[in-house]
Amino acid sequence: SAVGRGPEVPFRSEAYRISAIARGKELRLTLSALDPAAAASPPQDLVFRFGMSGSFRLCPAAELPRHAHLRFLTRESPPRALCFVDPRRFGSWRLGDAWQPERGPCVVSEYQAFRGNVLENLDDRAFDKPICEVLLNQKYFNGIGNYLRAEILYRLKIPPFEKARTVLEALKDQEQERRKKDPSLTLSKKVKLRQENPDLLELCHTVPMEVITAEKQLLDPEHSDNYAAFKNWLQCYLVPGMSSLRDRSGRTIWFQLGTPSHAGQRPRGTPRKKSPQLKADPEAPTPQVTPRASQRRRRAAARPPKPEEEEEEEKEEEADRPRKGRAGGRRRVTAAPASPQPEVPLRRSRRTSARRDKGETGSP
């Protein structure tokens, strides 16, 4: 579309097939020409991120939904369009087949690698944060989002602001104890025990699988009946009677009433306490505001607030600039080569000339 922010897709074919594979919060599409002789159109890969509101929809080409930023048309008559729809434009796509390097193994399709990646890296400083915040870290929990973390913590009755390392080290100790107690357990018995008493990492796999297996009923917001089924599936997220707080990253975490929360957090809608203000001394002199200072204030008030990205770019530019200080602000002056100074003739004052006319001798 004309307002799409993604790159142009350099693929042209009269007939092609689209295949897809998902990994965590990313989706890779592969466009392959159906004509094997079409050497001019090699397969093209696209990797999508969905952001907050991205999705794919298949609809008649004459009835394109709003915010359909990328469209794949069918050859049938009348044609249909497979559209990447993203009203808030947080989603994106990029050319190539590479996954983002900072994302860890998928919680659904790479469960064993995901579990090992977490338990083997508990020394990482990322696990110093509360468990509710770490569950959104895609380096270790690739695929877990806001509603999934609420549902997982609720089912295990884990306080959301408990330190992540404390929660996960307990899982590591339990796993080692199981192996020591009964190393002869068969795989089927291990699976049965985990189904009866799943831990946090196992729920990171099974809870998303519940949504995937029932996605036709749960994840279609266009049909109110299906969306109602999704709301009925939720046990904690957006459920009346549950508590909600803002975490340090600004995301809302939902949890059960009575679950201990972090002292540094506050419920949504709770006004901040005003800091005590010092009372002005009536006898103190009023500071004078110069015209230049008042002009600066008016200019600052007229400027709109800049987005965080621009502020970060400006900070980086300022860091590269030479600092202005006593040493850095002065201009370096190159000394000129020494040259013989011309003789400056001495000026005679009127007194000296008058004394000489009278015959007096001046002092040296």
pLDDT in tens, the chain (364 residues): 888 788 999 888 888 999 999 999 999 999 999 887 766 678 999 999 998 889 999 999 999 998 999 999 988 899 999 999 999 888 999 999 999 999 999 999 999 999 999 999 999 999 999 999 999 999 999 999 999 999 999 999 999 999 999 999 998 877 766 666 666 666 566 556 666 789 999 999 999 999 888 765 555 555 556 678 888 899 999 999 999 999 998 899 999 866 555 544 545 555 555 544 444 444 545 555 556 655 666 665 555 444 443 344 344 334 433 444 444 444 444 444 444 454 445 455 555 555 555 554 444 4
CB contact burial 53-78 (16+ within 10 A = b; e otherwise): ebbbeebeeeeeeebbbbbbeeeeee
Task: Calculate the CA dihedral of residues 21, 23, 27, 29 and round it to 10 degrees.
Answer: -30
User: What single-letter DSSP state applies at residue 267?
Assistant: B
Closest CA to 53 of 66, 40, 71, 72: 66
What three-state secondary structure class fits 22? strand
Cα 109 from Cα 25, distance rounded (Å): 12
Return the domain boundaries, the chain.
Answer: 16-95, 111-255
Count how many residues are written for the chain.
Answer: 364
**CB neighbours (10 Å) of residue 154?**
20
Tell me which CATH code domain 16-95 carries. Answer: 3.20.190.10
User: Would you say the CATH fold of 111-255 matches that of 16-95?
Assistant: no
Give strand pairing partners of 28.
21, 47
* 209 token code pair: 């699988």
Task: Give the global pTM.
Answer: 0.65
Residue with tokens 């001046």: 362
Contacts of 74 (CB under 8 A, 6+ apart): 61, 80, 81, 82
The Cα–Cα gap between 157 and 131 comes to 12
- Alpha-carbon span 192 to 159, nearest angstrom: 26
CB neighbours of residue 253 within 10 Å: 27
- The tokens for 249 are 């990253």
* Fold that domain 111-255 belongs to in CATH: Helicase, Ruva Protein; domain 3 (1.10.8)
CB 284 within 8 A of CB 168: no
d(CA 43, CA 28): 12
